[in-house]
Amino acid sequence: MSPIHTLEFAVALGRCLPLLSRPVIAVANSAGPDSTCLLFLLRQLFPPHALLSIHVHHHLQHASSLMARTAAKNAHILGIPHHLAHIPWGASPFPPIPTTGPVERITREARYNLLFHLISRARVSLLALGHHADDQLETAIMRLACGSTLLAAGMRPCRRWGMGSNSPLALFGHQGLNAFVLRPLLPFPKDRILATCHANHLHYINDPTNVQPHITPRNAIRHCLRDPPFSRPVTLPPTAPVSLIKIKNAVLLLQDIAPDVAGEKRRLHAAVAKLTAKTEYVDRKVTSHLTQHVLPSPIGTLLLSSTKLLDITDPDVRFTLVLRVIRYVSFHPWGSLRADADRRRSSIHRIVSALWASDPQKSQTKKFTAGGGVLWTPAIYNPNKSLRLGNQCLHTTLHPGDHFCWLASRVPPFSKNPQQGAGSPTKLVIDLTERLKATMISDPLQVLYDCRFLLRIDPLQMPTYVKSSLDDTASIKVLPFTHYYWPKVVLQRESHPDQVLAVPNEDGTVDATMPQSWISIQWVRPLDAI
């Protein structure tokens, strides 16, 4: 098996690098063969100061200290700055060191939490991981076995870190939208990575836990795929989310995608490569359609013309477009499963059926929600008139210049829900008073509102009358505004009506009390594929 050539790697890296003016790349350096190879190949393309090696010490096995020393030594040999981070098990938000249950998930969340905050402090926005073609195959099988769609089965070569989830360890907020995860080794199989290490005399440590099928579902799948697949008995760990039968069915599904390729393992790799290419094609088509066909609408919403939607006939493009819209409009953390309506196919297909009805007015589909925290409302758009919304649009005669559309917007909060969940109205009311008092002489206060808007408040530019009011009994709060649930910053004083300090307009500009505003409000959710 031939080593990976530097030019090959450069091409693969170029496909997953976002356009950034300062491409400093951090590498998650475990000291294993994959990250060791990745660190070496990146050093062939970049000077040392453009790279940063990071090793996370898990304290979970006897080999952990040896891995930490090896990772540091490899970085030193290449002249790359290196940082060692220890997981502080038991210190909030980290749980006690896991010994039972979903150890793999807890460890992964702890590792990514450390990695994210380390690169954030270093002002680095790119983190490269050593996932390769064999990892991609295992991931695809696991996701398909868990019910994923074919296009969502694999890992992306590049993706935003995202806002995370509501787990304390995995919540990254708006900062996660400016960080990216790169996987430049995805086109290369494990054999070529090992060949690269051996050809360049790279020292690495094999993690003994990676080959024990009873520890993690991924290990079990790796064991199943040894040539020939399923030729050896395997027992899934008790915490496995899927059965062995579902894993076998996922393998058979992949094999049917590339039936002409000889060899079972090669056929599986070819199938995943086809799916990756298809995903990239669909992403490009969705981006093109959204760029061309989205109509002007209030900030935080998307307006889609029914006539233009009918130009889209590929069911995969329709499905992916709906997911993209949901993720953009949702109040759930960007990039989380909840922001993708949990990828429930029944929910997405319900939306697709409504949006692609040949005659939507005749179908009489009233406004509805089908997951992801998004409300779909019938609308009539005319560039010379105000936007008309509501079920009455189903009965309105269209005149020249009128377009029947669907408006995607934030779903109303769960007013009858006594719990303070993500959709509860109490989450839309935020008291900033104490935080502002604490930051009067420091950097501007940044607040992520409803996972949709970023508020920046500069206390040094705060009007004098507002400062003096805060010294008394007044408070500054963020309240929901309009049926789109925009943030409105108000000053509340006893025996006075609320004074609006700042509120967004429909076009995203901000109305504020000062000509040079001390409050900014910005929509933060991207519409990109990654």
pLDDT in tens, 473-529: 899 999 999 999 999 999 999 888 999 999 998 877 777 655 557 999 999 999 998
Q: What is the β-pairing status of strands 158-160 and 368-369?
A: unpaired
Q: Are 446 and 454 spatial neighbours (Cβ–Cβ below 8 Å)? A: yes
H or E element at residue 305? strand 302-305
Closest CA to 274 of 285, 258, 287: 258
Report the DSSP beta bridge partners of residue 264.
none
| Number of C-beta neighbours around residue 466 at 10 A | 18
H or E element at residue 308? helix 306-309
Between CA 65 and CA 488 the distance in angstroms is 51
Residue 403 CB contacts under 8 Å (≥ 6 apart), including other chains: 295, 305, 306, 307, 380, 381, 382
Q: Are 74 and 203 spatial neighbours (Cβ–Cβ below 8 Å)? A: yes
First to last CA, the chain: 33
Between CA 349 and CA 368 the distance in angstroms is 13
Residue whose tokens read 């983190």: 127
H or E element at residue 306? helix 306-309
The tokens of 286 are what?
Answer: 């969705």
pTM: 0.91
Q: Are 239 and 135 spatial neighbours (Cβ–Cβ below 8 Å)? A: no
Q: What is the pLDDT of residue 418?
A: 44
Q: Is the peptide bond before 88 cis (omega within 30 degrees of 0)?
A: no
Q: What is the pLDDT of residue 137?
A: 93
Between CA 112 and CA 219 the distance in angstroms is 20
Q: Are 160 and 327 spatial neighbours (Cβ–Cβ below 8 Å)? A: no
What distance lies between CA 284 and its chain's CA centroid? 18
- Distance set, CA 36 to CA 108, 352, 505 (Å): 19, 45, 51
Report the DSSP beta bridge partners of residue 523.
453
Q: Report, as ranges of residue numbers, the positions in the chain whose pLDDT lies below 70.
A: 20-22, 208-215, 227-232, 415-426, 440-441, 512-516
Q: Rounded to 10 degrees, what is the CA torsion of 275, 183, 178, 48?
A: -160
Between CA 151 and CA 343 the distance in angstroms is 11
Give the chain's length. Answer: 530
Q: What is the β-pairing status of strands 126-128 and 25-28?
A: parallel
Between CA 154 and CA 136 the distance in angstroms is 6
Closest CA to 343 of 157, 151, 182: 151
Burial 488-508 (b: 16+ CB within 10 A, else e): bbbbbeeeeeebebbbbeeee
Three-class secondary structure of residue 262 per DSSP: coil
Question: Could you please report the per-residue DSSP string of 23-85?
Answer: --EEEE--SSHHHHHHHHHHHHHS-GGGEEEEEEE---STTHHHHHHHHHHHHHHHT--EEEE
Between CA 233 and CA 251 the distance in angstroms is 16
Between CA 98 and CA 101 the distance in angstroms is 8
Q: What is the pLDDT of residue 196?
A: 98
Report the DSSP beta bridge partners of residue 487.
480
Q: Are 94 and 88 spatial neighbours (Cβ–Cβ below 8 Å)? A: yes
